[in-house]
Amino acid sequence: MRCASRSIIGIRPYRRSKVCAEDFLRTLKGVYSFEIWHKEEKAKIFLCSSEPLQELRKKVASFYPSAEVYLPEKFFVVDDLIKCEKRMQFCIAKAELKKAYAMPLHTEFDVDPFNTLLTAMIGLKAIYQVVFTPAAQKWMESAAKAAEGLMKGRVVGLLDPRIKPPSAAEKELAKKMMSRAALPAFAAEIRIAVFSENTEGYIRNFESFFRLFNNTLSGQGFKLKIPLDQMGELEKMRSRCLSIPRLRRKVVLSLEELAALAHLPGEDVHVREVEWVYTA
């Protein structure tokens, strides 16, 4: 496993900033963890990395000059609870893709999806974490091949097999898949943790956020799964580790998809709980 555990910074985004997540993400080469910690009615944003602290600070400052970057007091928001397993009630869920990663998610939003995510966090002690790293280009090459296969049509009929040409919807989907495959790709793991009573019930509150990414054309979307080894998953969350499964379905995201899931909120987010900077 590769981990983003070398450095951590807190970021207070400028309230009126424009989102430039895609440009920022293009510059990242290591392992990173984008996190939102929500407690005491405040949503705090953190970025962790496998690279040196100064390099991380420079990158953030170059793209977000009006944001305030600081060193957090804690490496992990629940460090003081990890040693007290019997006293801690929590639930961690992972967001996994419903279909093979060649199929695109929905990313055309009129409103920042973080409005829904942050609303689900209100009143909870919760963590949203996206651990990611640039993916091997071969993964996107296989996605391009899947799109080419879709454009060729499909074989129908058992006794008299023939090739059925792709429908208009299939052609549109294939074009989107090809366009997506041309973008940089990222391997990712997405986790949600809630620390409270009725934790599993509160985890379900976040389904509304992940449903925003459902793509009716491709059938792609996210499903929340709760791992059996919750303490083990908590430790992975704490160490910001990224494991790429060999047997389970991989979460591989395009640049556009990752930007929708991991970005500094700006003027399109209207939830007051965010820890903002109000003056540039």
- Residue 159 included in any domain: yes
Distances (CA, A) of 171 to 168, 206, 217: 5, 33, 11
- Residue 279 included in any domain: no
- Residue 125 included in any domain: yes
- Residue 127 included in any domain: yes
Q: Dihedrals φ, ψ of 27, to 5°?
A: -85, -10
**pTM of the predicted model as reported, rounded to 2 decimal places:** 0.91
Domain count within the chain: 1
Question: For position 207, what pLDDT does the model report?
Answer: 95
- Residue 18 included in any domain: yes
Give tens-digit pLDDT for 229-246. 998 999 899 999 888 766
DSSP codes of every residue in 108-144: --SS-THHHHHHHHTTS-EEEEEEEEEPPHHHHHHHH
Question: For position 4, what pLDDT does the model report?
Answer: 87
- Residue 17 included in any domain: yes
Give tens-digit pLDDT for 26-56. 999 999 999 999 987 899 999 999 999 999 9
pLDDT beneath 50, residues of the chain: 84-85
Question: For position 246, what pLDDT does the model report?
Answer: 64
Q: How far is the C-alpha of 38 from the C-alpha of 261, rounded, in Å?
A: 16
Which value, to the nearest 10 degrees, does the dihedral of the CA atoms of residues 205, 188, 260, 218 take?
A: -80
- Residue 272 included in any domain: no
- Residue 270 included in any domain: no
Asked if 29 contacts 20 with a C-beta cutoff of 8 angstroms, the reply is no
CA 109 to centroid of chain Cα atoms:
16
CA angle 53/57/60 to nearest 5° reads 140
- The domain of 6 spans 2-261
